[in-house]
Amino acid sequence: MSSTQETVLEIHLSHLTHNFNYLKSKVAPHVKMLAVVKASGYGSDATVIAKHLETLGADYFAVAYVSEGILLREAGIITPVLVLHPQPINFKKLINHQLEPSLYSPRTLREFIKVADALNQQEYPVHIKFNTGLNRIGFWENDIDYIFEQLENTKAIKIKALLSHLAASEDHEERTFTLDQIHTFQKIASEISNRLGYQPILHQSNTSGILNYPEAHFDMVRTGIGLYGYGNEAKFDTQLKPVASLKSVISQIHTLEPGESVGYNRAYKAPGYVKTATIPIGHADGIGRFFGNKKGFVTINNKIAYIIGNVCMDMIMVDITDIDCNEGDEVVIFDHTSNAAKIAEHSGTISYELLTAISPRVKRVVVDNS
């Protein structure tokens, strides 16, 4: 019997160390490293990842929402934490936990000043986010006057950083567009720095920006460090190693006669004698129904076994007709050899969706600490 006896997500901290040091080697020594650990560290475990990176010398963390930042503080993280997309209703909690907001619109700026004033804050550090082409959240260049009007009337906040986000830094065909985003950010940053009389921390680059656009490194880079090596990054940099592996086990094996079916709605019908394995992971664990009917696969004893029939809430069934295996054998959903990007691509999604969907009932296990 293998060491894996139930569905687990293994976290390889030695790979995280490798990736962090590798990416740090790609930026100049003065450039700060911000680790994005939103969405439970891209589906892994935000506090495990952040604690390890804090010991490695990460300069900053970022999460999407205030609740995620509070979890980091409660776990004892003392490094600055940026909240990328806070909602005004949580500004008071954000300040009480010493989190730093990304303010991205006239409304969020106004509301934040109001809350910071009410809590008697002095020069509370904020990041101002500019839209340079992603068209998701961010101030526009022509909001700069408005920002300064608001700043004139308060001492409660201080612009600590300016940021923007690249839309297509992994796509070489969008090079002109990306360079234009970088140029626009530079222009905005120099106007604001001139008017402030000091230079805030500038940050624009995500992981693929680190690798593809040195001109976008500025003072700090942001990297979704939770899952290197099997995300989209894997397409252009194989030196990054996967931080997590999703594994399970064969619960039961059946042999079907021709015409017998598998699972709900009898979605799969055996064309001949077919051997199947049932695995204890389903759509409630993050294996979406779109992985069913041969769109997704697992690996058993280094061979690919396609998911047959519909994905159940707690189980999947796979075709093992040509695989020599037994009940209790290990099943790999993804790891360093069978990576999440490949499975995601085969089933029409991206690895980030596969990873962040892994539900809390899947046990997270740290398998190496170095």
Ligand X SMILES: *Cc1c(COP(=O)(O)O)cnc(C)c1O
Residues placed in the known binding site for substrate: 136, 313
E strand intervals along the chain: 8-12, 32-36, 60-63, 81-83, 100-103, 124-130, 157-164, 201-205, 220-223, 244-249, 252-256, 261-262, 268-269, 274-279, 297-300, 303-308, 316-319, 330-334, 363-368
Q: Quick one: which of 224, 242, 263, 292 contacts ligand X (CB under 6 A)?
A: 224
**Contacts of residue 61, Cβ cutoff 8 Å, sequence gap at least 6:** 34, 35, 36, 37, 50, 53, 72, 77, 79, 80, 81, 82
Q: With respect to ligand X, which residue has the nearer C-beta, 109 or 166? A: 166
CB 208 → ligand X: shortest distance, Å? Answer: 6
Q: Candidates 186-194, 205-213, 238-246, 300-308 — which segment interacts with ligand X by CB under 6 A?
A: 205-213
> Which residues participate in the annotated binding site?
136, 313
135: which residues sit within 8 A by CB, 6+ positions away?
A: none
Q: Which is nearer to ligand X, 60 or 112 (CB)?
A: 60
Q: Is 40 in the site for ligand X (CB under 6 A)?
A: no
Binding segment (CB under 6 A) for ligand X, from list 201-209, 277-285, 293-301, 316-324: 201-209
- Backbone conformation region of residue 316, classed left if phi is above 0, alpha if psi is from -120 to 50, else beta: beta
Name the residue nearer to ligand X (CB basis): 12 or 203.
Answer: 203
Q: Which of 206, 245, 276, 349 binds ligand X (CB under 6 A)?
A: 206
CA torsion angle 258 263 265 270 (round to 10): -20
Closer to ligand X by CB, 108 or 223: give it. Answer: 223
Contacts (CB under 6 A) with ligand X, residues 164-183:
165
Residue with tokens 């029939």: 309
What part of residues 232-271 is at the interface with ligand X (CB under 6 A)?
Answer: none
For 245, the token pair is 């592996």
The CB-of-214 to ligand X minimum distance in angstroms stands at: 16
Catalytic positions are 38, 264
Q: Does 222 bind ligand X (CB under 6 A)?
A: yes
Among 84, 234, 300, 317, binds ligand X (CB under 6 A): 84
Q: Does 223 bind ligand X (CB under 6 A)?
A: yes
Partners of residue 319 on adjacent β-strands: 276
Residue 229 is a binding residue for ligand X (CB under 6 A): no
Total chain residues near ligand X (CB under 6 A): 10
Q: Which two tokens stand for residue 265?
A: 């709605």
Q: Does residue 83 interact with ligand X by CB under 6 A?
A: no
Q: Does 36 bind ligand X (CB under 6 A)?
A: yes
Q: Which residues contact 310 (CB under 8 A, 6 or more apart)?
A: 263, 264, 265, 267, 289, 292, 293
**In the complex, which residue's CB is closest to ligand X?**
224
Between CA 118 and CA 122, with CA 121 as vertex, the angle to 5 degrees is 140
Q: Which positions touch ligand X (CB under 6 A)?
A: 36, 38, 84, 165, 206-208, 222-224
